[in-house]
Amino acid sequence: MSLEHAVLGFLNYEPMTGYELKKMIDISISHFWPAVQSQIYKTLFRMEADGWLSVETISQETRPPRKVYTITDKGRVEFFGWLETPQPQGETRIVWLIQLFFAGQMEDEKILTLLRTLLDGYQQRLRAFNEIPEENRETMKEDDPRDQFFWMLTADFGVAQTIAYVEWLSKVIHAIEKHDYTLPTLGSHSK
Amino acid sequence: MSLEHAVLGFLNYEPMTGYELKKMIDISISHFWPAVQSQIYKTLFRMEADGWLSVETISQETRPPRKVYTITDKGRVEFFGWLETPQPQGETRIVWLIQLFFAGQMEDEKILTLLRTLLDGYQQRLRAFNEIPEENRETMKEDDPRDQFFWMLTADFGVAQTIAYVEWLSKVIHAIEKHDYTLPTLGSHSK
DNA sequence: AAATTCATGTAATAAGTTACATGATTCC
DNA sequence: GGAATCATGTAACTTATTACATGAATTT
């Protein structure tokens, strides 16, 4: 499982609780690998049982005890082995492409409404991406600049992908608006 | 679940068996919504119980009986309701982006090896996409040209997305080759 | 006064994958 | 002779989501 290795990666920077991990994931890798709280806790439990992590439970008066997880040597070996192992191409599951596949059965106006809503959503997403660096630049100030480069790269990927979606949706919307049902010629993409 | 609605969409063209559905899915929507055989059979069973499909079992001498599924009125209502309902932006789960996120801990050469393997894979995928239309054009010859347009659109999306990945990976590879760790400026993407 | 933060967890459900099982027929 | 096609299914497992539960302290 990949969440496990993401957790190892984070804990290799510094020990953390599940709660803190959740926050880290949300502001970093969640746009290509989201994780909900319950899954993180379950994963940490399993990883500790597997000897990849050790736990230190620190009692608090008013709150539940903090369970601080630390990566073990075994975990570190696992992590670095994984880190240089080629991983499969990711999966893209896009429900609205199923809709589009069957859109021949819909009126143009209804299709256009759907597509415009999608375009709008992705444009918003693009704006959200551009606000990420402002928010995080402060947080990362003191970290290794080479680390920072790779962190930013993944955000840059998100931007590139979203731009591709926006451009593609615009193209399709214009084609349908002009009732131009010329079959897209798959090979003829410029560049 | 979306597989259910994809099944409704296919059965709205014509009644089919699970086996035939599997083949249809493989040559059409599998690149953005794959489905394994066991899942299709399970889904068909559930959908029939829900009254979205009806079954006709046709015995055969040597083989298991063909179970031909037909969409019901209830299923058709469900399908067309779903078809015009806005769906969420898809999810992209890409393991190698987790690797890249933590790549600060790896040597440049190892990162480059990973990235070149990925680039190669996506370029192959691109070539595979360009061979799709040749294969399917015959199969689709007699179908509604408006349907055909939307079918090809989803393949075109696959191409566009893969090109975006290829270009992005090339960019990153070149940057690392030149040891240019300038932080990507997220807002500055040309068009 | 209400919402957010901190901090843990469980239970139920859904969705998807892997692997197994059967077995004749037809194509290479 | 071996692989692919046709055609069904089950069982175990993994991964992820949703929803519930608790409860003080702090911020808005």
Interface check A150 vs B, CB under 8 A: yes
Note the pTM of the prediction, 2 decimals: 0.93
Own/partner contacts of B143-146, CB < 8 Å, gap of 24 or more, are B144/A104, B145/A181, B146/A104, B146/A181
Q: To the nearest whole percent, how much of chain A has pLDDT over 90?
A: 81
Contacts of A38 (CB under 8 A, 6+ apart): none
**Strand C bases with any atom < 7 A from protein Cβ:** 6-12, 14-20, 22-25
* Residues, chain B: 191
Q: What confidence tier does A191 reach under pLDDT thresholds 50, 70, 90?
A: very low
Among A37-41, A64-68, A117-121, A140-144, name the one with the lowest average pLDDT.
A140-144
Shortest CA gap B51–chain A (Å): 21
Q: Among partner residues B32, B90, B114, which is closest to A84 by beta-carbon distance?
A: B114
pLDDT for res B183: 74
Comparing CA positions, the residue from B134, B128, B100, B124 lying closest to residue B114 is: B100
* Residues, chain A: 191
Own/partner contacts of B102-106, CB < 8 Å, gap of 24 or more, are B102/A6, B102/A9, B102/A12, B102/A83, B102/A150, B103/A83, B103/A150, B104/A144, B104/A146, B104/A147, B104/A148, B104/A149, B104/A150, B104/A151, B105/A9, B105/A12, B105/A80, B105/A83, B105/A147, B106/A83, B106/A84
DSSP B38-69: HHHHHHHHHHHHTTSEEEEEE--SSSPPEEEE
Determine the residue of chain B that is closest to A163 in CA distance: B191
Q: Among partner residues B32, B159, B183, which is closest to A148 by beta-carbon distance?
A: B183
Comparing CA positions, the residue from B150, B132, B100 lying closest to residue A157 is: B100
Among A119-128, A132-141, A155-164, B84-93, name the one with the lowest average pLDDT.
A132-141
Interface check B49 vs A, CB under 8 A: no
Contacts of B62 (CB under 8 A, 6+ apart): none
pLDDT for res B158: 96
pLDDT for res B136: 67
Residue A133 has pLDDT above 70, yes or no: no
Name which residue leads in pLDDT, A135 or B43.
B43
pLDDT for res A187: 53
Comparing CA positions, the residue from B183, B60, B18, B123 lying closest to residue A134 is: B183
- Walk along chain B (191 residues) in steps of 10 and give the mean pLDDT of each run: 96 97 96 97 97 95 92 98 95 96 96 97 91 67 85 95 97 96 66 40
pLDDT for res B137: 65
Task: Give the C-alpha separation, A124 to A127, whole Å.
Answer: 5
pLDDT for res A26: 95
Shortest CA gap B115–chain A (Å): 9
Per-residue pLDDT averaged across A97-115, rounded?
A: 97
Nearest-CA residue relative to C1' of C19: B38
Q: Is A135 exposed, middle or buried (0-12, 13-18, 19+ CB in 10 A)?
A: exposed
